[in-house]
Amino acid sequence: MKKFLSNNKKLIRDYTTILLGSGLGRGLSFMTGIIIARQLGVENFGAFSLFFTLMFLVWQMPNVLDNAYVRYVKVEKKINQEEYLRAVLFLKMVVCLIMSLSSYFIATLLARYFFHKPELIDFLTWAILAGLFLSFLSTWGTLYQAKENFLKYSFINLIFYLSIFLCIGTFAFLQVSFFLKETICLYTGFSIITGLFSFLYLLHRLRFKLFPRYLKVLRQMFHFSKWILGAGICYIAFERLDMMFLGRYTSLKEIGIYSVAIRITMFVSLFNAALGTLFMPKGSVALSSKLQLKNYTEEAVFICTSVLIFIVGLILIAPFMVKTLFTSEYILSVLPVRIILISEMLIVIYQPLAYLVYALNEPKILFYSGIVKLGVILSVGSFLVSKWGIIGAAFLLSLANLAGLGYICIVLKNRLKLERLQVR
């Protein structure tokens, strides 16, 4: 056992670093949110929440290019790594320019026709701009993710949340009043500053040569990224549909009970997010040799088994967590908590398999896996939720994740068989 732990010391250290970094980032964001909520009041905090949600969504969208960067930098050795960074920066700049020019139009559509709150047009415009600038900060962090230097990766991803927390925290400590407009200006300002700094730093690394020299590299990055973006959109829809069905078929009381189950299990999603960060660079090169695949498999089994054991422990203490955190009034959420935790276990198993797709250079498999999950939810969601309420909604998530896992297992099995035949 000691020898095994010794051999996996770096793996444990890397995963712990990612987990702590992500946890600290979410913790800082959560505490900042509490201060802002107390200062702004319910209605203004609602407006800020819409701003923050849109900013975060826009921030993540261009980052599919970063995933492509990790994949190609780890796998392709013939082309200089700088070319892939140049391609990412160039494509992000194009995306950001297009979205910046259309930001007011997009914000107007959202505010007037989706949220039915035209007074939010300016704030939503700023949210789009803030998210676009922050995407360059993510690219800076991705440089170190590709090198598997997760300490620097975690620190860079903390910069924005830490800066905002220190500023808002200082205001609260000094009892300086701030209002909705000042809060949104602060977030937008810090986003622009960190984004510009990140962009200039990356440009400096490229010796201020932004335009890619090889059209092939641009094609590779675009082709890979479009499938990852599609998979991401499927994931966003998948994550929201259970609540949509509940809103249609159940009472507000049941939705409240189910929301408690979701909030408790969100803690586990932090572990799954850390697994994704860890396995992305490792999975990209896992099929380069039998030794690499063996090492990847051993590492995946070790770290995933550890997380699965932890989740089993949470399943056992679910009643205690519900009563302690939310009082016995929400005791009916225990069974949904346990079922959703089983769904999270399926995601843990899915993660290392998903990143073998990077090694195969077939990101469309992830998109089709997302389509399978959505298909399951849309085909049986109405039946399960209308018949069994919150239990049906929780079971729906597990069923969809099981279908996605089954799909990717079958496809990978066939693809890996084909790979072996081609090698022979």
Mean pLDDT throughout 275-285?
A: 88
Query: With b meaning 16 or more CB within 10 Å and e meaning fewer, what string describes 340-359?
Result: bbbbbbbbbbbbbbbbbbbb
Residues 197 and 255 in one domain: no
Note whether 286 and 292 are within 8 A (CB).
yes
284 part of a folded domain: yes
The one-character DSSP state at 179 is -
Residues 403 and 284 in one domain: yes
The count of domains in the chain is 2
Domain boundary, last residue among 180, 213, 246 = 213
| Average per-residue pLDDT for the chain | 86
Residues 199 and 239 in one domain: no
Note whether 160 and 137 are within 8 A (CB).
yes
The helix (H) or strand (E) run that includes residue 37 is helix 9-40
384 part of a folded domain: yes
Note whether 361 and 71 are within 8 A (CB).
yes
Residue 276 corresponds to which amino acid?
Answer: G
Residues 168 and 274 in one domain: no
The one-character DSSP state at 1 is -
CA distances from 418 to 281, 287, 360, 414, 421 (A): 23, 13, 11, 6, 5
Lowest mean pLDDT: which of 30-34, 187-191, 234-238, 312-316?
234-238
Residues 207 and 239 in one domain: no
Residues 265 and 156 in one domain: no
For residue 347, what pLDDT band results from cuts at 50, 70 and 90?
Answer: very high
For 407, list phi and psi in degrees, rounded to 5.
-60, -50
Note whether 192 and 129 are within 8 A (CB).
yes
Distance CA(419)–CA(407), nearest Å, equals 18
Residues 138 and 248 in one domain: no
For residue 419, what pLDDT band results from cuts at 50, 70 and 90?
Answer: low
DSSP of 222-243: HHHHHHHHHHHHHHHHHHHHHH
What tokens appear for 317 in the block? Answer: 């203490």
358-393 pLDDT per residue, tens: 888 888 999 999 999 999 999 998 899 999 988 999
Q: Which of 148, 151, 109 has the alpha carbon at shortest distance from 128? A: 109
Query: Distance between alpha carbon 42 and the CA centroid of its chain, in Å?
Result: 27
Of residues 223 and 188, more confidently modeled = 188
Distance CA(355)–CA(297), nearest Å, equals 12
Judged against a pLDDT cut of 70, whether residue 6 lies above it is answered with: no
| CA dihedral sign of residues 214, 220, 223, 225 | negative
Residues 58 and 183 in one domain: yes
Residue 202 corresponds to which amino acid?
Answer: L
Query: Residue for token digits 């892939």?
Result: 84
**pLDDT at residue number 424:** 41
Distance CA(364)–CA(354), nearest Å, equals 11
- Which residue stretches of 41-120 are H helix? 42-60, 64-75, 81-101, 103-109
177-212 pLDDT per residue, tens: 888 899 999 999 999 999 999 999 999 988 878 777
38 part of a folded domain: yes
222 part of a folded domain: no
Residues 179 and 295 in one domain: no
Please tell me the pTM assigned to this model: 0.81
201 part of a folded domain: yes
CA distances from 400 to 96, 129, 406, 407, 410 (A): 34, 35, 10, 11, 16
For 287, list phi and psi in degrees, rounded to 5.
-100, 10
Residues 184 and 328 in one domain: no
What tokens appear for 167 in the block? Answer: 């500023």
**pLDDT at residue number 208:** 78
133-158 pLDDT per residue, tens: 999 999 999 999 988 899 999 999 99
Residues 199 and 339 in one domain: no
Distance CA(117)–CA(49), nearest Å, equals 14
Judged against a pLDDT cut of 80, whether residue 337 lies above it is answered with: yes
- Domain limits for position 254: 232-423
Note whether 18 and 274 are within 8 A (CB).
yes
Mean pLDDT throughout 271-287?
A: 87
What tokens appear for 123 in the block? Answer: 């704030």
**Could you tell me what percent of the chain has a pLDDT over 70?**
96
Judged against a pLDDT cut of 60, whether residue 7 lies above it is answered with: no
Distance CA(127)–CA(101), nearest Å, equals 14
